[in-house]
Amino acid sequence: MPTSAPFGTTTAGTEVQLFTLTNANGVKASITNYGGTLTSLLVPDKAGKLGDVILGFDNVSGYQSPEYLKAGPYFGALIGRYGNRIKGGKFTLDGKAYTLATNNGPNTLHGGKVGFDKVVWQAEPGTSAEGQTLKLTYLSRDGEEGYPGNLNVTVVYTLTADNALKIDYTATTDKATVLNLTNHAYFNLNHDAGRDILGHQVTLPADRYTVVDATLIPTGELRPVRGTPFDFTMPHAIGERIAQVPGGYDHNWVLNGATGPYAAATVYEPETGRILEVTTDEPGIQLYTGNFLDGTLTGKGGTVYGKNAGFCLETQHFPDSPNQPTFPSTVLKPGDTFHSVSVYKFGVRK
């Protein structure tokens, strides 16, 4: 069974816990029920040495500090109701207009001002045939952050015997709503977040990406990656062409797979030999390269998180889908069940 330990008290006075899942290889994944946040992940390098490859903090106060809330990096958190951006904080569903809380310039980002990353989830540690588990549940009430419907969400983290962290999402609603769930972990396979991730080599099996405007809202165009710095169909170091992308990578790639689960990303760090392989049944993946980290946040072990200290691979439906009728639908209706699985598997190349 997973172990648990106190992780501090929220500003609202709620005590939260840290749950640690372990497998026979010594790999450990620690998750707090505050925001369903993945706080650390210990995986081996090519010499067999375990190292923490996740950016985060040692207790819940780090995730609630004024500096953190101002920066808004969403370290390791579960994201909802709607991952990524919705233009103008508005959408229309079944002929009714909805207005959301805006928290990213004119747009709504990652669920609004109090998204799933800032609530306390009900936690139930357990085991399955695949490994140790943590089941998290949350009821997002009708009208929360402007979204319609009472939404029941269940997320199950599983640490498998083959060093994979599986994230299984399920949701139901009593009123038509929009939904886009993901996890916002920042990875650094160096196990030294004082170093940047520009040398990590990324492969994305995606022939197109969603072009965005100045506020990172999709224009609707799905542009071929070929001949651009967005082409990761063959491995490229993150830093190889990042200077050609204004602001750095913070874009959604359109995955080539037709039905899941299918390969979504591979990342290789040459010095440690660590490899991260992502599979999903979602149609897109957001590669974000920590462009807005600026050294104002100090995390675990006193590590200062500067620009490009970590990268995110957020499996998802496309940004602003509620306002883009040609994108895959994110509508969830009563009587239907949303279900999606993403897996982050770790290995080494010697």
Task: Quick: pLDDT tens for 89-123.
Answer: 999 999 999 999 999 999 999 999 999 999 999 99
Task: Count other C-beta atoms under 10 Å from residue 226's C-beta.
Answer: 10
- pTM score, whole prediction: 0.97
Tell me what the pLDDT averaged over the chain comes to: 96
Q: Is 85 annotated as a binding residue?
A: yes
pLDDT, mean of residues 165-171: 98
Question: What is the tens place of the pLDDT at every residue in 221-258?
Answer: 999 999 999 999 999 999 999 999 999 999 999 999 86
Flag whether pLDDT at 259 surpasses 80. no
**Domains, the chain, ranges and CATH?**
3-348 (2.70.98.10)
- Tokens 């330990």, residue located: 5
* 97 annotated as belonging to a binding site for a ligand: no
Return all residues near 255 (Cβ < 8 A) that are at least 6 apart: 204, 205, 206, 262, 264, 280, 282, 283, 284, 285
Rounded Cα distance between 310 and 330, Å, is: 28
Quick one: pLDDT band at residue 193, thresholds 50, 70, 90? Answer: low
- Residues that are catalytic: 184, 314
pLDDT at 134 over 70: yes
**pLDDT at 350 (0 to 100):** 84
Q: What is the mean pLDDT of residues 116-144?
A: 98
Q: Is 305 annotated as a binding residue?
A: no
Q: pLDDT tens digit string along 263-282?
A: 999 999 999 999 999 999 99
Of all residues in the chain, the percent with pLDDT exceeding 70 is 99
Q: Looking at the predicted structure, is the pLDDT value of residue 18 above 70? A: yes
Cα separations (Å) of 188 from 43, 135, 184, 290? 11, 26, 13, 11
> What's the rounded Cα separation, in Å, for the pair 315 and 78?
12
